[in-house]
Amino acid sequence: MPTSRAGLRLMHVHAHPDDESSKGAASTAKYVAEGVDVHVVTCTGGERGSILNPKMDRPGILENIHEIRRQEMERARDILGVTQDWLGFVDSGWPEPDEEGNKPPLPEGCFALVPLEEAAAPLIRLVRSFKPHVMTTYDERGGYPHPDHIMCHQVSVYAFEKASDPTYAPELGEAWQVSKLYYHHSWSYEKITALHEAMLEHELESPYTERLKEWKREPDWEKRVTTKVPCAEYFGVRDQALLAHATQIDPDGFWFQIPRELQQKVWPTEDYELVTSHVESTLPEDDLFAGITAEVGD
């Protein structure tokens, strides 16, 4: 692996501020350290997010949550060493079902209700200006079924395809072909089981006991990971970026219940699925840039 990879460019597309720190942050920090130019695109401002850290649940905080989350994002991107743009769409929120399981309609004007072509336009402009060699986003389920995560997937795939078409919306910039598209696979049955068993082996309480009991395994889904990026030495940077999102991340909560040293030993990678590639690389991979040099399409 080269010590400097200057000239390579990576774009992560995420739904909300904090997603860049909870999905792929250690591999992001690794690539930044190697000289890759990493740019994060955040689709919404997280305006409808709840206060998930009880230490931050203060009277009136939700009245200014949009600005607070922008400030948190600024701290996180400084920690990770990335640049970042907001697409400017409004958080759709997480619709809570009623007693019969029916979910209320999404709020008018939210990201998930914006027509796809309109929602993708600012992202296509960014792709054509930043010219990433690699792009990452969520799978078709959104990673989990938040309406903004599903919309983020749809917008990202659409932009990946249309950005390379010189006949499509030329006013958005000169066409650019992104070489590779990946989906994040942050959590898998195999990973959760490995961490769970390691905790029990060390006579520690596992936070995954109930989750594993309820897990409905999908073997075909679990086989979709193609690329495991070794990045254990950057788990500390990931954790600091997570903590920057103080309204969302409880330092005594779920994210930090597995000792970092145990995570580094048991599961030292962040995992991805190669969806589309316009370069040749051999699977499985250990590098998002496998098959790419800085000269590709530059």
Where is the binding site, in residues? 16, 19, 149
- The two beta strands, 9-14 and 37-44, are parallel
Pairing relationship of beta strands 134-137 and 180-184 according to DSSP bridges: parallel
Per the annotation, where are the binding residues for Zn(2+)? Answer: 16, 19, 149
- Residue 124: helix, strand or coil by DSSP? helix
Contact criterion met (CB below 8 Å) for 149 and 195: no
Helix (H, G, I), strand (E, B) or coil at 11: strand
Q: Which helix (H) or strand (E) segment is 273 a member of? A: strand 269-277
Sheet holding 227-230, edge to edge: 83-89, 37-44, 9-14, 134-137, 180-184, 269-277, 227-230
Quote the CA–CA distance of 94 and 46 in Å, as a whole number: 11
